[in-house]
C-alpha cells in the first residue's frame, strides 16, 4: 500500500512537473523572443531566430497547414523499388548533380495561401522533367493549374485551403498538368497568380501577406494571353506515383530520378528555424505541411535531409531546411510520394 502510494506520488510529481514545464512553454507566444530563447536552450542541433512578427501568426499557421489533416494518416501501398545494396553517397545535393536544371534551385513563395501541397509537388515534377531529359527540358509544371483546377486534390478545388499531395501526383497521370512557373515568371501556360508577400521581418519590398486576403484562384482552362500557348497542347503527364517510407529507398529514388515531395506534422517551433538540423523541441501541433526533398548529408554527426521550403529565400537557410533523417520524424519519411514524367 505504502509502496503504491509512493509510486503514485512519484508519477504524480513527474506529471505535475511536465504540466508545469508545458505551461511555461505555453506562456510565451510561439513567435516571441522568449520562446525563441527557450527553443535555443532546448535544441541541440539547430538554431531558432526571428523569422516572423507575432502579428504574422495567423498567416504563418495558414502557410504551415496546406496539407489536409487526414492526408498523412491515409493507408498507402508503400513500395521498395530500389536495390539497397547499391552505393549511396554520404552527401547529395540535386542542385549540384543536375546543375543545368533551372527548376531545381528555385525557391518558391506560396504567398498567403495554403498551397504548399501543389507547389512542392509541381516543383518536384518540374525537376524530374528536366532530369529525365538529360537536363535539356526546362519545363515548369504549373502549381497554379494544380492549385486551382484539381478538384479531388483539395475536396472541391479550394487549393489555398490545403490539399492531398498524393491526389496531385495521381492527377498528373490521369488529367495532366499544363506548364507554368513562378508569379510573373513567363514560364509557360499558367504561372502562379498569387504574388510573393512579406512573411518575414525586415523586408520592405513585398506587400504584407496579411493585407492580401487571397482566396483560391478560379480554375481557368486557358493559357495566359502573354504565353500564346494552347492549354491542351501544353499539358505534361506523369506515370503511376509511388509511395516510399524507407530512408535508403528515398535516397536511391532521389539519386536516380530526382527530388521527391513529402509532408510532415508541423510543431509550433518550426517557423522559427534558422540553421542546423531541425528536430522538434515542442509537441504543440499547428498543421501539416508539404515540402520537396532534394538531397541529404550529415552535420556534426547528425544525419539530415536537405529540403526546400516554399516560404521564399529569406526563411531558414536561404529558403531551405536541414531536417533530421532516419527516424521518420513527424512522418517526414513515411509521407514521400513521387512519379516519373511520361516520356
Ligand X SMILES: *[C@@H]1O[C@H](CO)[C@@H](O)[C@H](O)[C@H]1NC(C)=O
233 interacts with ligand X by CB under 6 A: yes
Q: Among the options 101, 116, 149, 189, which is catalytic?
A: 116
- Minimum gap (Å) between residue 319 Cβ and ligand X: 15
Q: What one-character-per-residue DSSP string does 272-300 give?
A: GEEEEEE--S---EEEEEEEEEEEEEEET
Identity of the residue, 85 or 204, whose beta carbon is nearer to ligand X in the bound complex = 204
CB 118 within 8 A of CB 147: yes
C-alpha cell at 206: 513585398
What whole-number distance in Å separates Cα of residue 10 and Cα of residue 285?
28
Contact track, ligand X, 287-326, x by CB under 6 A: ------------xx--------------------------
Write each residue from 12 to 51 as x if it is in contact with ligand X (CB under 6 A), else as -, in one continuous string: --------------------------------------x-
Q: Which of 3, 85, 134, 205 binds ligand X (CB under 6 A)?
A: 134
Q: Does 184 sit near ligand X (CB under 6 A)?
A: no
Q: What is the rounded distance in angstroms from the CA atom of residue 224 to the CA atom of residue 199?
A: 27
Spell out the residues 6+ positions from residue 307 whose beta carbon is closer than 8 angstroms to its own.
262, 291, 292, 293, 294, 320, 321, 322, 323
**Closest distance to ligand X from the beta carbon of 26 (Å):** 25
Q: Answer yes or no: 309 catalytic.
A: yes
CA angle 289, 113, 120 (to 5 degrees): 45
The CB-of-216 to ligand X minimum distance in angstroms stands at 7
Please identify which residue in 276, 287, 316, 319 interacts with ligand X, judged by CB under 6 A. Answer: 276
| 139 Cα distance to chain centroid | 21
Known catalytic residue at 312: no
Out of 65, 288, 309, 312, the active site residue is 309
Name which of 187, 194, 224, 190 is nearest 312 in CA terms. 194
The values of phi and psi at residue 90, to 5°, are -70, -30
CB of residue 105 to ligand X, shortest distance in Å: 18
Tell me which long-range contacts 82-87 makes (C-beta under 8 A, separation of at least 24). Answer: 82/248, 82/249, 82/252, 82/253, 82/256, 83/252, 84/246, 84/248, 84/249, 84/252, 86/252
At closest approach, how far in Å is the CB of 35 from ligand X? 16
Are the beta carbons of 72 and 287 closer than 8 angstroms? no
The site string for ligand X over 188-227 (x = CB under 6 A, - otherwise) reads -------------xx------------x-xx---------
Q: Which is nearer to ligand X, 46 or 171 (CB)?
A: 46
Catalytic residues: 116, 289, 309
* Contacts to ligand X by CB under 6 A: 50, 134, 201-202, 215, 217-218, 230, 232-233, 276, 299-300
Amino acid at each position: 500500500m505504502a509502496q503504491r502510494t509512493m509510486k503514485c506520488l512519484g508519477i504524480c510529481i513527474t506529471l505535475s512537473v511536465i504540466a508545469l514545464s508545458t505551461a511555461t512553454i505555453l506562456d510565451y507566444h510561439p513567435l516571441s523572443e522568449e520562446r525563441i530563447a527557450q527553443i535555443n536552450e532546448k535544441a541541440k542541433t539547430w538554431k531558432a531566430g526571428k523569422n516572423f512578427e507575432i502579428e504574422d501568426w495567423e498567416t504563418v499557421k495558414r502557410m504551415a497547414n496546406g496539407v489536409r489533416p487526414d492526408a498523412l494518416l491515409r493507408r498507402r501501398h508503400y513500395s521498395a523499388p530500389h536495390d539497397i545494396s547499391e552505393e549511396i553517397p554520404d552527401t547529395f545535393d540535386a542542385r549540384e548533380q543536375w546543375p543545368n536544371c533551372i527548376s531545381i534551385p528555385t525557391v518558391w513563395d506560396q504567398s498567403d495561401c495554403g498551397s504548399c501541397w501543389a507547389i512542392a509537388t509541381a516543383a518536384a515534377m518540374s525537376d524530374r522533367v528536366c532530369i529525365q531529359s538529360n537536363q535539356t527540358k526546362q519545363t515548369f509544371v504549373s502549381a497554379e493549374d494544380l492549385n486551382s483546377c484539381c478538384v479531388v486534390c483539395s475536396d472541391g478545388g479550394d487549393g489555398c485551403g490545403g490539399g492531398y499531395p498524393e491526389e496531385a501526383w495521381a492527377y498528373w497521370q490521369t488529367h495532366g498538368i499544363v506548364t507554368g512557373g513562378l508569379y510573373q515568371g513567363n514560364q509557360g501556360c499558367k504561372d502562379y497568380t498569387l504574388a510573393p508577400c512579406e512573411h518575414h521581418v525586415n523586408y520592405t519590398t513585398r506587400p504584407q501577406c496579411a493585407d492580401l486576403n487571397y482566396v483560391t484562384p478560379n480554375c481557368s482552362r486557358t493559357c495566359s494571353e502573354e504565353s500564346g500557348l494552347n492549354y491542351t497542347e501544353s499539358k505534361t503527364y506523369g506515370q503511376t506515383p509511388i509511395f516510399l517510407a524507407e530512408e535508403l529507398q528515398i535516397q536511391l529514388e532521389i539519386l536516380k530520378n530526382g527530388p521527391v515531395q513529402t509532408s510532415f506534422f508541423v510543431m509550433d517551433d518550426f517557423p522559427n528555424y534558422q540553421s542546423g538540423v531541425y528536430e522538434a523541441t515542442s509537441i504543440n501541433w499547428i498543421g501539416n505541411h508539404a515540402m520537396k526533398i532534394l538531397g541529404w548529408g550529415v552535420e556534426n554527426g547528425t544525419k539530415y535531409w536537405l529540403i526546400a521550403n516554399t516560404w521564399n529565400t529569406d526563411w531558414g537557410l536561404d529558403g531551405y531546411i536541414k531536417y533530421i533523417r532516419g527516424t521518420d520524424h513527424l512522418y517526414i519519411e513515411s509521407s514521400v510520394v513521387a512519379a516519373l514524367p511520361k516520356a
